[in-house]
Amino acid sequence: MATTKKTTPVKKSLSKSTKGSKNTARPWTWRFSIVAIGIYTIAVASLVLGAFAASHIMVAEKNTERLNRINDIYSSLNIDDSYQVVGTDIFGDKRVYEWDKGRTYSSSIRYVRGDTVSNTFADLDKRIKDAGYTFVDDPYPGSVSKQYHYKTDKGEYIRMTVSSKAYNEMWQNATIMNKEVTAEMLDTFDKNAGPASVIIKVNLDDNNE
């Protein structure tokens, strides 16, 4: 009688090297992702900071250019030592009115001159025209404070205002002392009396102040 020999099945086992490769693949992929994200973040931040710095430099250079131009305009008027500077407000950046975006602030220099209003006005009118500026407007004809506007073909404006320093102080003193300025006081006061108070404004953008 024939007999059948039983065989024991052999179990296949995974090699250690195969198991090891599966366990080490995940940590390396995770680390690579972190490094890539870090490099990308640094690159983006560098681009943003670079663009911001470049923009800031361009604005600063433009403001410096504008400031130099304003100073050149004042220098071109050749105002002599008979004019004493009592206040300055010169800036290069474009300053827009908070309540009106179509208007901008002007740079200004205030002077005092030991002469009458009319003489000072005539002297400055000649200096401004000699510098290449053209008269464009007399906004307040007959006013105690005489004011003329000038401009160039480039759209650069000058505003000149001349008034009696003594007359201005009469109003200021009356206000401080809570006194009334009567019609008689106004009629008898010499509004052409020196010294003359002068304001010269320069604007590179508009004449809407």
In the predicted model, what is the mean pLDDT of residues 95-117?
Answer: 91
Asked if 106 and 202 count as a contact pair (C-beta separation under 8 A), the reply is: yes
Task: Return the DSSP state at 8.
Answer: P
Residue 138 burial (CB count, 10 A): 12
Residue 181 vs residues 142, 167, 172: alpha-carbon distances, Å:
20, 11, 10
Pairing of strands 107-113, 196-203: antiparallel
Reported as a single tens digit per residue, the pLDDT across 48-74 is: 666 656 556 666 889 999 999 999 999
Select, from the ranges 14-18, 31-35, 147-151, 172-176, the one with the highest average predicted confidence (pLDDT).
147-151
Average pLDDT rounded to a whole number, residues 101-123: 94
The pLDDT confidence band at residue 27, using thresholds 50, 70 and 90, is: low
Among 153, 155, 189, 157, residue whose Cα is nearest residue 171 = 189
Torsion of CA 109, 114, 116, 118, to 10 degrees: -40
**Does the CA dihedral 10-16-20-21 come out positive or negative?**
negative
Segment 189-206 mean pLDDT: 94
Distances (CA, A) of 185 to 123, 180, 181, 182, 196: 29, 10, 6, 5, 19
Confidence category of residue 193, pLDDT binned at 50, 70, 90: very high
